[in-house]
Structure 1
């Protein structure tokens, strides 16, 4: 008997189905809001024995240091944006479109799909999310800047924004400040990205590229068959 519940995540015949962890297993009889957490920029989820990552961490390839982190925090909410009464996509974009401004909120959902049976994460636009082997999780740092970040846009969010979850433990979610000052979400300590080559729901065109890019699982692991 499995502890995961499967239900449709989106209406309109979307091919994917969410794999949502049992809230009772995570929170007992607590309310949904009691399962969330507030994180400061720079928080991540490395092993307990690892030192806390610096909010001013910069990519090893960056030529300038990151701006100092502010005091604005993010709220991680263990329920969906729809449950919070929100419509739309929070300002996220699709495919190769440039994210001109960080979205007001982001949703991370664990799903399975026909090309990848392992649970992996998508955003509210049903875009697959990825991790990069050249990054580090403890401390959380991104090695993808410049042209790399154009091809692999980081998953960013406004300071003070919300991260909504479906099938992801709030303890796995953190955030770092990138060299350009933007706030990037991490899962299991790993910075997460979209792929500009994914143009429609269900695309996983970035899976395995260069032997370093893989769909990211609910705890930051590589999602592979």
Structure 2
């Protein structure tokens, strides 16, 4: 089931179009989580044969005693789940005071980048960092780097909603400061503080290491 969405004109005249199917199966609102998977923090590599999360030793340690630490990855949009607003996410250089209750990852194309790349519910472009690793998944952007490139974080026990992203590609790691960061294809995902409007891609190619992230964690460069 493939859908194509054309968004209204955005500031600066940019227009984004969502690509790829956001739902692999039709599910009622009461059973949306059955269309995705449950992940433990530290479960950042797409499983080869099963959607069941297998916590690594570091994940087991980080979630010990925290019954609500697992995240739900839902193969449907927040709107389909009856949610409105932005889950508590922020835009541009704004500091994320508290992790969002939920995050949506949407695969889109744009006039500036024809390759499918990810945005959040605020239509902010999301990025990956070449100095990070995917196997094992690890962020090497902390301190001043993380202020410039804010990690895409989420509350423990929160939901990750998807449009055009395979749930098997989505994971989460615990950062050194204790926050939970979303990964795609094992790659930690970030915003860019220099993007202030929907449609901005000012972080693309910065330092030759930062690139828009695609639906499987790849660099989106075309």
C-alpha distance in 2 between matches for 1:39 and 1:22:
19
C-alpha distance in 1 between matches for 2:142 and 2:184:
19
* Equivalent residue number for residue 204 of structure 2: 207
Deviation string for 1:38-59 (max 9, x for gaps)? 11111112575xx9755369xx
RMSD of aligned residue pairs (Cα, Å): 2.2
Residue pairs, 1:56-135, within 5 angstroms: 68-69=62-63, 70-71=66-67, 72-135=69-132
User: TM-score normalized by structure 1?
Assistant: 0.85
* Equivalent residue number for residue 188 of structure 1: 185
Contact 2:88 2:99 in 1 (8 A): yes
**Structure 1's 21 and 109: CA in aligned 2 closer, same or farther, altered over 3 A?**
same
**Structure 1's 92 and 30: CA in aligned 2 closer, same or farther, altered over 3 A?**
closer
C-alpha distance in 2 between matches for 1:38 and 1:7:
27
User: TM-score normalized by structure 2?
Assistant: 0.86
What SS does the aligned partner of 1:171 have?
helix
**What is the aligned length?**
208
Greater alpha carbon shift after TM alignment, 14-23 vs 170-179: 14-23
What SS does the aligned partner of 1:116 have?
coil
Q: How far off is 1:7 after superposition? A: 1.1
What SS does the aligned partner of 2:85 have?
coil
* Equivalent residue number for residue 147 of structure 1: 144
C-alpha distance in 2 between matches for 1:36 and 1:201:
27
Match of 1:13 among 2, 9, 16: 9
C-alpha distance in 1 between matches for 2:141 and 2:33:
33
What SS does the aligned partner of 2:118 have?
strand
Match of 1:179 among 163, 176, 180: 176
**Structure 1's 153 and 22: CA in aligned 2 closer, same or farther, altered over 3 A?**
closer
What SS does the aligned partner of 2:73 have?
strand
* Equivalent residue number for residue 55 of structure 1: 58
